[in-house]
Structure 1
């Protein structure tokens, strides 16, 4: 290839970036950069007020660049951006895996795609294709369809078919599989110790299914997998991104990095160097902007890419290939037929959440005998979840039974007072992954010792059922909360 001009290199470098930004409308710098060739942007909860506002925002982006890729991390489970302020109206992946009806998964993903397309979003960093085979995983958990490779694979394929059938590009993540670790890559570098045979039998199964299903994109994981590459984390590994994903698995779509500013990568390599290494390894698009959502970061990364090409560290052919793959995804997104949003969508999501409920006491009778007292045990939330995302039972129960009362506890402190206040009322104990939090397990046991009649509602990954009546929702979405609240108060629905 002939040496490109500086302008061409700059446009190609801009094309592979997917930065975030602050605000409910595009800032001046972002509009300018789009006009100069920026390939995409990613929206976070901080950019969302409601659907009408998001539609106006994406229209403003398209006024600068008609084929801009507008991405979002909308798993429509506990990880939601569109519904971060209200909670998702859909059951999450773990609930769908528990129901194990791929046709339902495809239908729900189709409705999610319609919803995103209606507000101008073209690229969804979903579905999560990880096999959550470590129950102590702090970052995947209920985001996965389960712990069984084949179950995860069939629902991954169904989710992709539904979303892309609605005209929104899907992205299977986090390659080559983030389920078998107890470390959060937002904070440190996870290590997958499995050998190649185990990876083939577990982690890679859903990704093979995703590729067969025609997924438009795959997101890399910031983790070390020594069986595949003893030297570099997956995002920066040529052996994993190019030799395995491109070569052996035959994936020909877009490879996008997980947030390049996450400490598992940026803490060791720095933002600029990690960006260059990721592109050289085979990534085509760089997601950035969780904590670095500004023009200075975007310019720094563009300039670092250009400098790396000029120095020979990053082959120009590799950059040109990456930019071409971004353009191809953009063209697919523009051409893909869009389907109008179904006004019945929220009811469909709630109906599915009802199907996911699992009660360990088959003879349990509802409604509860009176307005409940609710104790919600608040864990430290997964960093992938927008902090403003509501969860729990207090709000939906209060809507259906206005006399509901209760307490939210982040430790055992305050538990005696809460238990005392519950006397005379049905008690509902709401937990989320107590097997991962010793204090929560202790508090739950202490509560049941005093009130063995309490109903335990698990809104995370179910482990050992506790109590005489245990209800698992397989996620903490608004739909899950409403479904179990209806059950507890005997609400009748059509």
Structure 2
């Protein structure tokens, strides 16, 4: 049976590569004109909203229907605001507040930012249930460890974002929350039995589908209860049998980035793309491309060859491409009716949400909202020690994580020191005895060296204020503040709380 002369164009349609630079390179523009269906933006592509809007407009000159995607979860995973930190706290903060209407409003605020530059697809929200507190890559990116809460807030987030004409993408199917490995580095295994997966991990995806989510991202996860032989990305029983046939999802299914070691250690990129399409994926996310784009054409040619060899049916490829196009059409249909909002109002919402998510523990008391905690203002400019473990690879390099800059703005004379895992020692505290001491930590309970530093500091200085920006642990110090996430908004409200008191 002869194949369509548009086979190469169909193969390009299902690809969503990343690229370098703040303007579209020549190879990308050529590929777009030949039918490349998508592209993903990272922090390396983004300077400010005006530049980003110009970048996307230039891409649309070559393919008006290109699906432009970005990872903008709010909180620690931000691309649009990687240089400054997000204006909105992330999922754990929203789950801690527990108000789905607030979650919907925050997602809409993120949507306003993305819609203003004409982004098509946000690779968010994470609807993973954070079942394992030692999870190194989900943690604060999850709404929590309760499936019902994650389902409710995930659906609210999707409604809020999609109300602005930006498509949401629930991830990481079938659930990355019950793992102790990071799929950027290795293949995680989810050991839960099928019954537990359906009761816990799949519940938020069912809710996302019911909420009308336009896209779902599959995770690079080995889930033996679903398929003992292949990771979810390459598993037809998981992607087609479960997600399509059982759960009834009809939107666009995109892979996580195929250069991640969880799958890159198993096959070459072309083989991963082909196997993912056979399994039921519609779009292939490729975070890194070669300088002249040759790697994108290698993927195209591998897909075309698989059709000619009979491994991948042309009907399956055409179906995948049609779902990519359908997403682009949905986005275009919003062009004249996008919801806008004043930037100042959206930022104010982020600050109020970050403040409401704070939990403060004083000696002899349990965690309480900041509004209910009596914290005296700092008596002098403090010494801020940022105990900074390396964050996972989902976080853009250079994303601000500490508190020092915000405290310095609020209280001139503040001193800052950063301590990292490769040199895990506190500075000499004696010369700073007249200064308040603030320790900023992230997931200290997961990092033994960080936990030891906190304990050591509190022994020397019982008046130490500990600010935990990750998963809260055992409260220590004279004041223990859990921000429930990393964002510029969170840093600002904590600095204001410490400087002005409550």
Aligning the two structures, in what range does the TM-score lie when normalised by the shorter sequence? over 0.9
Partner Cα distance (1:98, 1:289) in 2: 32
Single out whichever of 371-380 and 238-247 deviates more from structure 2. Answer: 371-380
Q: Which deviations, in whole Å up to 9, do the C-alpha atoms of 1:48-68 show, x marking residues without a partner?
A: 000000000001011111111
Q: Secondary structure at the residue paired with 1:430?
A: strand
Aligned equivalent of 2:259: 261
Aligned equivalent of 2:96: 98
User: What displacement does 1:294 show?
Assistant: 5.0
Aligned equivalent of 2:304: 306
Q: Please state if 1:391 is matched with 2:392.
A: no
User: 8 Å contact 2:378–2:501 — kept in the other structure?
Assistant: no
Distance 1:3 1:311, change over 3 A: same
Pairwise CA RMSD: 1.4
Q: Secondary structure at the residue paired with 2:12?
A: helix
Aligned equivalent of 2:387: 377
User: 8 Å contact 1:122–1:168 — kept in the other structure?
Assistant: yes
User: What displacement does 1:334 show?
Assistant: 0.5
User: 8 Å contact 2:426–2:453 — kept in the other structure?
Assistant: no
Partner Cα distance (2:340, 2:357) in 1: 27
User: 8 Å contact 1:259–1:289 — kept in the other structure?
Assistant: yes
Aligned equivalent of 2:29: 31
User: What displacement does 1:179 show?
Assistant: 0.5
Partner Cα distance (1:418, 1:210) in 2: 51
Partner Cα distance (1:247, 1:366) in 2: 58
Structure 1, unmatched stretches of 5+, are: none
Partner Cα distance (2:202, 2:474) in 1: 28
User: 8 Å contact 1:102–1:154 — kept in the other structure?
Assistant: yes
Aligned equivalent of 1:238: 236
Mapping of residues 287-366 of structure 1, within 5 Å: 287-290=285-288, 294-336=292-334, 337-343=337-343, 344-361=345-362, 364-366=374-376
User: 8 Å contact 2:94–2:143 — kept in the other structure?
Assistant: yes
Partner Cα distance (2:291, 2:191) in 1: 34
Aligned equivalent of 1:279: 277
4+ residue runs over 4 A deviation: 291-294
Distance 1:412 1:63, change over 3 A: closer
Partner Cα distance (2:97, 2:185) in 1: 32
Partner Cα distance (2:500, 2:450) in 1: 28
Distance 1:370 1:54, change over 3 A: same
Aligned equivalent of 1:158: 156
Structure 2, unmatched stretches of 5+, are: 366-372
Partner Cα distance (2:134, 2:281) in 1: 29
Mapping of residues 206-221 of structure 1, within 5 Å: 206-221=204-219
Aligned equivalent of 1:456: 466
Q: Which deviations, in whole Å up to 9, do the C-alpha atoms of 1:58-116 show, x marking residues without a partner?
A: 01011111111100011111000000001001011100000011000000101111110
Distance 1:357 1:121, change over 3 A: same
Mapping of residues 163-242 of structure 1, within 5 Å: 163-242=161-240
Distance 1:276 1:391, change over 3 A: same
Partner Cα distance (1:89, 1:369) in 2: 28
User: What displacement does 1:366 show?
Assistant: 2.3
Task: Name which of 59, 64, 71 aligns with 1:66.
Answer: 64
User: What displacement does 1:463 show?
Assistant: 2.0
